[in-house]
Amino acid sequence: MASKPLLLALDQGTSSSRAALFNEEGQLIDSFSAPLRIEYPADGWVQQDANNIWTSQLNAMSGLEKKLSPQQRQAVVSCGITNQRETTVLWRRSNNQPCGPALVWQDGRTVDICSQWKLEGLEQEWCHRTGLLLDPYFSASKIKWLLDHEPEAKQALANNDLCFGTVESWLLWQLTAGKQHCSDMSNASRTLLMDLERREWVESFCDTIGLSMNALPELVPCRGNFGRIETGLPFSGVPIQGLLGDQQAATLGQLCLEEGEAKCTYGTGAFLVVNSGKQVHRSKEGLLSTLGWTDENGSPTYCLEGSLFNAGTVVQWLRDGLKIIHSAEEINTLAAEVTNSGGVMLVPAFTGWGTPHWDPLARGLIIGITRDTQRGHIAKAALEGIALSVANLVNLAEESISHGLGELAVDGGAAASNALLQAQADCTGLRVRRPRNLESTAKGVALLAGLQSGVITNLQKLASQRQQGAELFMPNMNKQNRQKWISRWDEAVRRSLDWYE
């Protein structure tokens, strides 16, 4: 009997790369991950070696393929790619070599470039056409910085030998041995170079940053036929049929298919995404308008998004910086040693604030420390700081769409923490739903590839089953105490914004 078809997801994240297999019901069959080094060469600078990004993903693919039986390997019929977004790679078309470091989405070195563009009066049109803000978070200023500071990039541009891409473009180029230079519309919508409503590159914005249109990838729908994995690579011959930015993929993986449905992913950062339907919804509350995903014809589903730059990094800092825990999981044990945070608050603005402040110069702080403060108080405050930051995003989203969210679907590594999710329910007043499998990002792009390949025909049926096996966290705090807690939090955040003045 022939094996049932399997779907391959390549999930390239900020700190690791993963390859995962799913069946036609969206259930995880197996996976393999490989670490990825992050470099911090100066305060606020975050970069990676683009070749290391590719090698990490290649190692994940190889590790997974070696685990499979011949029958499972033969059953793999389609591949999707999902990735850390906004991270910017420039490379030479002629030799596949990067022209400088990959500037990671968290990187804040381009503050002055964005400030100059604002002084020149460019922000209003840029924001209107892209749904984004002039901020170092997005790709445009990163491209400008690389062109200004990397002679190799400048020379490649002069020789018409330059390629720009976000990470899915870079991986697709490598997987197809340079045959495909494409960017899907979900990732392109995070570059500050795509018109959100027309879904096309904006030439005048490219002129502003000094980038030739010839260096841009072909703009494609999120579903389609994007070549095959090259001979000699793991999973060679498998067609690549889905491309999707990681937060959009997680939203699809959580089956937030209806307008108003929302998820939060707790990875390196924390990202709230709300399905806003078939039309662009513009927020006055500091949320971003972004493209969620498209069908094979490019017809879009749009989203609203709130971005917190540091979530999982807070736990990593407690482990690697303060060394008060030995593993990420240990934060839950430490936090459970105390009944509350003892008045301590930890604001996780390590690399600046995203939504709604968009202040790359803000920094983290710990406030409320006394002689009685213990490690457990700091651990609990760290988890609560993530939850309270997300609660602010939830409040902004509810104001923007003029109704409550009701339920928040959650995923990502830190969502394994019961203490975090209980705090999340308490400070939002929402029911929090955690699926059995936290790998929603990989699942989302696997579902997309499954739709394109015909293996999956009905996402609504899967959505009707999403409560099965899920854990629910209910709010356990009255409105008065919640408001007092959030008021104290708002004061702590204000201080993190004012520290450099």
| pLDDT score of 500 more than 70 | no
**For residue 271, what are its two tokens?**
């990202």
Helix (H) or strand (E) holding 74: helix 70-75
Q: Is the pLDDT of residue 501 over 70?
A: no
DSSP state letter for 318: I
Under 8 Å between Cβ of 186 and 292: yes
- CA distance linking residue 371 with residue 284, whole number of Å: 43
Enter the pTM of the model: 0.88
Contact 101, 90 (CB under 8 A): no
Residues 406 and 125: their CA atoms lie apart, in Å, by: 34
Cβ atoms within 10 Å, residue 495: 13
> The tokens 């204000």 sit on which residue?
494
Query: Are 360 and 108 in contact, with CB atoms under 8 Å apart?
Result: yes
Proportion of the chain above pLDDT 90, given as a percent: 69
Lowest mean pLDDT among 192-201, 215-224, 399-408: 399-408
d(CA 199, CA 183): 12
Give the model's confidence band at 159: pLDDT under 50 very low, under 70 low, under 90 confident, else very high: very high
Q: Which of 205, 181, 185 is nearest to 193 (CA)?
A: 205
Which pLDDT does position 401 carry in this prediction?
A: 83
Cα torsion through 38, 242, 287, 499, rounded to 10: 0
Domain range list for the chain: 6-246, 255-434+470-501
CATH ID of 6-246, from 3.40.30.10, 3.30.70.20, 2.40.30.10, 3.30.420.40 = 3.30.420.40
Q: Is 480 exposed, middle or buried (0-12, 13-18, 19+ CB in 10 A)?
A: exposed
45-92 per-position pLDDT tens digit = 999 999 999 999 999 999 999 999 999 999 999 999 999 999 999 999
What per-residue confidence (pLDDT) applies to 283? 81
Q: Helix H segments across 340-498? A: 375-401, 418-428, 440-453, 459-463, 479-498
Report residue 454 as tokens.
């015909």
Task: Report which of 66, 54, 77, 84 is spatially closest to residue 30, judged by C-alpha positions.
Answer: 66
Span 393-427, pLDDT tens digits: 999 998 888 887 889 999 888 888 899 999 999 99
pLDDT at residue 438 in the model: 81
Task: Give the mean model confidence (pLDDT) for residues 238-250.
Answer: 95
Q: Which residue has tokens 């997309």?
A: 448
Distance CA 404, CA 401 (A): 8
| φ/ψ of residue 115, rounded to 5 | -65, -40
Amino acid at 485: W
Phi, psi dihedrals of residue 399, rounded to the nearest 5°: -65, -40
Element (H, E) at 184: strand 182-184
* pLDDT band at 350; cut points 50, 70, 90: confident
d(CA 186, CA 221): 8
Which tokens sit at 500?
Answer: 């450099």
Q: Which of 2-6, 432-436, 493-497 has the lowest mean pLDDT?
A: 2-6
498 CB-near residues (< 8 Å, 6+ apart): none
Residue-level pLDDT at 453: 92
DSSP structure string for 6-53: EEEEEEE-SSEEEEEEE-TTS-EEEEEEEE---B--STT--EE-HHHH
Question: Is residue 362 helix, strand or coil?
Answer: coil
What pLDDT sits at residue 312?
A: 87
Which CATH code, of 3.30.420.40, 3.20.20.70, 3.90.550.10, 3.40.50.300, is assigned to 255-434+470-501? 3.30.420.40
Q: What is the CA radius of gyration of the chain?
A: 22
pLDDT confidence tier of residue 213, bands split at 50, 70 and 90:
very high
Sign of CA dihedral 180, 182, 187, 192: positive
| 430-462 tens-digit pLDDT | 999 998 888 889 999 999 999 999 999 888 888
Q: At a CB cut-off of 8 Å and minimum separation 6, what does 492 contact?
A: 345, 347, 365, 367
Q: Whats the size of the chain, residue-wise?
A: 501
Mean pLDDT of the residues in the chain? 91
How far apart (Å, rounded) are the C-alpha atoms in residues 160 and 130?
Answer: 26
34 pLDDT exceeds 50?
Answer: yes
Q: Which of 229-243, 341-355, 391-405, 457-471 has the lowest mean pLDDT?
A: 457-471
Domains 6-246 and 255-434+470-501 share a fold: yes
The arithmetic mean of pLDDT across residues 168-192, rounded, is 96
Distances (CA, A) of 260 to 249, 280, 323, 397, 480: 17, 13, 40, 9, 26
What DSSP letter does each residue of 136-165 carry, written as one string?
Answer: TTSHHHHHHHHHHH-HHHHHHHHTT-EEEE
Helix (H, G, I), strand (E, B) or coil at 127: helix
Residue with more model confidence, 321 or 157: 157
In this structure, which amino acid lies at residue 90?
L
Q: Do 344 and 367 meet the contact criterion of CB atoms below 8 Å apart?
A: yes
Find the distance separating the first CA and the last CA of the chain, reported in whole Å. Answer: 70
- Report the share of the chain in percent with pLDDT over 70: 99
Q: What is the pLDDT of residue 423?
A: 93
Sheet harboring 431-434: ordered strands across? Answer: 288-294, 300-308, 270-277, 262-266, 407-411, 431-434, 471-473
Q: Which two tokens stand for residue 195?
A: 């018109």
344 band by pLDDT with thresholds 50, 70 and 90: very high
| Helix H or strand E encompassing 311 | none
User: Is pLDDT at 1 greater than 70 in this prediction?
Assistant: no
